[in-house]
């Protein structure tokens, strides 16, 4: 029997559009939270969810708790967004242009900001996936971040990390991973 793992991106946050943030705890706007709940519920037709995991950041936990109502939500550090180190919550205009250039040329490997790179994030999310597929749960919800989803999809689809960033993942989007085994799975954008 396949496992259905529903990966959901968090709502839009209160962060100003010109600020670099990843693993900083930035809350969602109330309106974006309500919009995301409605959007996810309209797409997600599963009524027998076994468990819900969430990034510990409030933009994810608030959505997970609203979706699950009275059911327990389990948080996991492994599905937090990328750590941008000393760039966290700094306006892009205040980040030295030479650092931005270095990171932009090789964000996959670069840690000029003192935080994580793409592969650090990918290792975390793949360890998390390995745990999920080895549980007895059949219908799982995971509320997380676009960066994590791209790292996961790059691996599963054997796509270039650079190319996977051209994939649009909007706030409240749902991506279903129908898992049969490591050799046979389906990825569906719901």
Residue 85's pLDDT is 97
Residue 74's pLDDT is 96
Residue 59's pLDDT is 98
CB-based burial label for 75 (10 Å; 0-12, 13-18, 19+): middle
Residue 172's pLDDT is 96
Residue 26 CB partners (closer than 8 Å, separation 6+): 13, 14, 15, 57, 58, 59
Residue 46's pLDDT is 75
Residue 177's pLDDT is 94
Residue 1's pLDDT is 73
**CATH, range 3-189:** 3.40.50.1240
Residue 96's pLDDT is 96
Q: Which helix (H) or strand (E) element contains residue 188?
A: strand 184-189
pTM above 0.85, yes or no: yes
Q: Which residue has the tokens 């029997």?
A: 1
Q: How confident is the prediction along the chain (190 residues), in pLDDT tens digits per residue?
A: 789 999 999 999 999 989 999 999 999 999 999 999 999 999 998 778 999 999 999 999 999 999 998 788 999 999 999 999 999 999 999 999 999 999 999 999 999 999 999 999 999 999 999 999 999 999 999 999 999 999 999 999 999 988 998 899 999 999 999 999 877 899 998 8
The DSSP secondary-structure symbol of 85 reads G
Residue 150's pLDDT is 96
Separation between Cα atoms, residue 56 and residue 78, nearest integer Å: 9
Residue 70 CB partners (closer than 8 Å, separation 6+): none
Residue 87's pLDDT is 98
């Amino acid at each position: 029997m396949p496992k259905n793992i529903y990966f959901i991106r968090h709502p839009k946050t209160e962060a100003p559009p010109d600020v670099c943030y990843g693993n900083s705890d930035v809350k969602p706007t109330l309106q974006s939270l309500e919009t995301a709940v409605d959007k996810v519920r309209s797409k997600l037709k599963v009524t027998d969810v076994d468990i819900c995991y969430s990034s510990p950041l409030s933009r994810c936990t608030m959505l997970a708790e609203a979706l699950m109502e009275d059911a327990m939500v389990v948080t996991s550090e492994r599905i937090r967004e990328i750590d941008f180190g000393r760039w966290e919550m700094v306006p892009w205009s205040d980040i030295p242009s030479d650092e931005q250039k270095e990171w932009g040329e090789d964000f996959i490997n670069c840690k000029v900001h003192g935080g994580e790179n793409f592969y650090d994030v990918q290792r975390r999310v793949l360890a998390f996936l390995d745990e999920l597929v080895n549980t007895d749960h059949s219908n799982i919800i995971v509320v997380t971040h676009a960066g994590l989803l791209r790292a996961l999809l790059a691996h599963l689809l054997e796509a270039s990390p650079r190319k996977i960033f051209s994939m649009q993942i909007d706030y409240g989007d749902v991506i279903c991973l129908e898992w049969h085994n490591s050799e046979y799975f389906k990825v569906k954008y719901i």
